[in-house]
Amino acid sequence: MLNDTPPSPSNQQGLDIRSTPREEMNLFPLDTFEYEFAGREIWIEFDIPEFTAICPFSDFPDFGRIELKYIPNKLCVELKSLKLYINSFRDVKIFHEHVVNLILEDFVAACDPLEAEIVGDYNVRGNIKTVVRASYKKP
């Protein structure tokens, strides 16, 4: 007989994503460089097909694809720092929904884009497919 009661998420407590300093999560900082064509709106798109983080509920790895696109304002993200930033999630216990929001917040704080969109497209787990989207538009 199936037990419909989920296990207690005992490993969830203690990590409040919104108030935990990035250094405590060991996230690599995002570096930028000057966008020399300010005023010219272009979309820059990144496809990150091997994203990994840890599910705080089960302690199992979550795998997925992160798609990031943005219109730069005065700064562009430096690619190597983006790679190291994304790879630093491998040991972070974080929910799908929080990953996408956290990446968006960190990206906007670093680059101050005119617009940004992030999609977290996660591999099927437990017969459920999860896709999380977040966007930002400069006021």
**Active site (catalytic) residues:** 55, 62
HEC profile of the chain = CCCCCCCCCCCCCCCCCCCCCCCCCCCCCCCEEECCCCCCCCCEEEEEEEEEEECCCCCCEEEEEEEEEEECCCEEECHHHHHHHHHHHHHCECCHHHHHHHHHHHHHHHHCCCEEEEEEEECCECCECCEEEEEEECC
**Tokens 């108030």 belong to which residue?**
19
Alpha carbons 101 and 128: distance in angstroms, whole number: 20
